Amino acid sequence: MKTNICIKICLILVLSIILCVTEGCNRNTTIEKSGELILFVERNELCSFSFEYSSYYTLVGPDYALDFVVPFMYITLLAPKDLTEVIVPINKDEVSKVVAEYVPAAIEITVAEAVDSVNAAGNAKEEIEEVLKDCSKHDNYRFVTGYPLDIAGQNGDFIEYYVRDEHTCAVYFDFDGLIWSIELISRGDYDYSKIKADFDHIVETFKILD
């Protein structure tokens, strides 16, 4: 189910701690920095892949849940924190404005085993259908576009949409019995053109390894 980006980041950090205890962190992972770009290489029993990303982002993970009913792993890239004003109720007649930090954008790479059941998606197209179905329940949902897109030598699909105050684009594809996704979520007031270019670079450099 689609969640607000701030709530989602909190859930990622909590789940990261749990999975680090149960599964172990940094399993077969290498990171090489070259100028402003970082080469990320991941090898584990579920999947092996690599991609380049901008040093502008903070890496969270990788985190693994390989012993779950539906095995999966994910990586999150967080944009630098920003400041925003938040209205806080003082009493029933008064409110106060406070300045709070928040994460304005994140890119998440997820790899999960495809499961043919009523509770899980059997392939990437089914996953897209479920995501858009959940988002369409919100009054402010707006679908922008969707089209086929090749990634890592595979046939994938790109989608873009708005829901709540968030702008999301994502690429989904199938390979080796797994559903792969790269998703960008940003607040509506953030510099979308910059992070979209960073997202595109990840997609363009994404490779599946032997």
- Tell whether omega for the bond before 80 is within 30 degrees of 0, i.e. cis: no
pLDDT value of position 16: 42
Confidence class of residue 20 from pLDDT cuts 50, 70 and 90?
very low
Question: For residues 75 and 113, what is the distance between their CA atoms, to the nearest angstrom?
Answer: 16
Q: 122-146, pLDDT tens digit by residue?
A: 899 999 999 999 999 988 899 999 9
Distance between start and end Cα atoms, the chain: 32
Structure tokens at 33: 């920095």
Which domains are seen in the chain, by residue range? 5-208 (3.40.1000.10)
Angle 129-131-136 from CA coordinates, rounded to 5°: 90
pLDDT value of position 181: 97
Question: For residues 53 and 185, what is the distance between their CA atoms, to the nearest angstrom?
Answer: 16
Decide which of 43 and 139 is more confident.
43
* C-alpha neighbours within 13 Å on the C-beta side of residue 41: 8
Question: For residues 119 and 122, what is the distance between their CA atoms, to the nearest angstrom?
Answer: 10
pLDDT value of position 12: 41
Most confident of 76-90, 112-126, 166-180, 186-200: 166-180
pLDDT value of position 2: 40
pLDDT value of position 118: 56
Question: Helix or strand or coil: residue 26?
Answer: coil
pLDDT value of position 82: 80
Q: Which residues touch 52 (CB under 8 Å, ≥6 apart)?
A: 37, 38, 39, 40, 201, 202, 205
* Mean pLDDT score across all residues of the chain: 84
pLDDT value of position 71: 87
* C-alpha neighbours within 13 Å on the C-beta side of residue 125: 4
State pTM to two decimals. 0.81
Question: What phi and psi, each to the nearest 5 degrees, are found at residue 204?
Answer: -65, -30
Question: For residues 205 and 210, what is the distance between their CA atoms, to the nearest angstrom?
Answer: 16
